[in-house]
Amino acid sequence: MSIEDILPETVPTGYYLVFAALLFAIGLFGLISRRNAIGMLLSIEIMLNAVNVNIAAFSRSGVGEGQVLGQLLVVFMITVAVAEAAVGLAIIVAMFKLRRTVEADELKLLRG
């Protein structure tokens, strides 16, 4: 029993695009308004997920192998996002060890 048997019709791609745009806007808002470095990374993860939803929604329109390639792109994006999260969190932990803070505004070592 596949999902087509339970849910015959599909959701229009535009719904996914509006959803992804909203999600990206929420992440953008968080990235700008957060002063905590971990909170900023969380916002970036939201934005990356919005992009993933967008690509996956578009890949449904593909013909033949196009569907597979869209999903493959999303998988590579997840890989890169995970690497980014790991390195970002390591930087935050190191920053906390050094400076005892995770506030992005208090990092002014490079300020001229």
Partner 1 sequence: METLVFFCLAVPVLILAAVVVTTPHILRAVVSLFLALIGIGGLFFLMRAPILGVMQLMIYAGGVVVLFAFAVMLVRRVTGEFVRQKTSLVGPALVVALLFFAVLMGIGSGYLAGLEEEGTLGGFMHPTDLDLAERVVITDVPEEIDPVDEFSPAMLRDYLLPFEIASVLLLVAMVGAVLIAHPLKQKHPTGALSPKEALEQETADTGADASDDEDAGGAGP
Q: How far apart are CA 26 and CA 23, in angstroms?
A: 5
Give the nearest distance from C-beta 17 to partner 1 in angstroms. 6
Q: State the binding string over 86-105 for partner 1 (x if CB under 8 A, else -).
A: xx-xxxxxx-xxxxx-xx-x
Q: How many CA atoms lie within 13 A of 54 on its CB side?
A: 14
Asked if 9 touches partner 1 (CB under 8 A), the answer is: yes
In this complex, which beta carbon is closest to partner 1, that of residue 1 or of residue 65?
65
Q: How far apart are CA 10 and CA 15, in angstroms?
A: 11
Asked if 27 touches partner 1 (CB under 8 A), the answer is: yes
